[in-house]
Chain A
Amino acid sequence: MDIRVQAEPFDAGAELNRFAARRGDSGAVVTFSGLVRDDGGLHHMEIEHYPGMTAKALTEIAERAQARWDLRDVLVIHRHGKLRPGEQIMMVATASAHRAAAFAAADFLMDYLKSRAPFWKKEVTGDGAEWVAAKDTDEAALDRW
């Protein structure tokens, strides 16, 4: 398991290749990348987090995924600080023997990262700044699991 919380950018392609090479017994690797989306007028995004809790919460979420699916490995990278449109915010990768577990676990990780990892996004535009509100659908998504 590899959990990283960082301000620095990362290279998702290089991370995928490194992750895929870590275990020879994985037949399937699934990755998801989240990017800063510009819906129009976004200057940048500020991501605040809770330093004492973040890595612990991400590790607990990854451990839940590992307990539920037969995973060979899990990677979570999540950035904080100032990010511009198009930049990578985060990525998850899951490795398993077959694809079904890798897809399901990646989906699970994303649902939990959305509403159980202590990050808060603020969008800064030319008109000012606004905190992104959590969606009811994000919370409801957890009921799937």
Chain B
Amino acid sequence: MTLDVLYFAWLRERIGLPRERVETDAATVADLVAELTAREDRYAVAFQDLKALRVAVDQELTDFDAPLGTAREVAFFPPMTGG
């Protein structure tokens, strides 16, 4: 499947791009992270501590063990600092 993968805040800066299109067979968010981190060091460094990151699938907050199913968009970011 084709996914739009988005990065925000320091994760975007560390990976060096705000979004990219990814071809993947990943079944879960964790599988997708494993594929990304295997690519290049900058991904491995950025995703080193998943506890410091949050994920949204199709713009809904979820967990790293969430299935991707028919998802179109996955976003990774640090804990939010709104307000």
Contact = CB atoms under 8 A, between A and B. Distances in A.
Interface of A: 34, 48, 50, 52-53, 56-57, 78, 89-90, 110, 113-122, 131-134, 139
Given A50-B8, A52-B59, A116 B80 contact: yes
Contacts, number: 70
Contact of B59 (A34, A56, A114, A121): A56
B56 A113 contact: no
Closest 10 CB pairs of A and B: A134-B79, A120-B9, A119-B82, A117-B82, A53-B59, A114-B83, A113-B83, A113-B82, A121-B81, A132-B81
Contacts of B6: 50
Q: Give the dominant DSSP class at A's interface.
A: mixed
Contacts of A34: 83
Contact of A50 (B10, B77, B79, B81): B77
Contacts of B77: 50, 118, 120
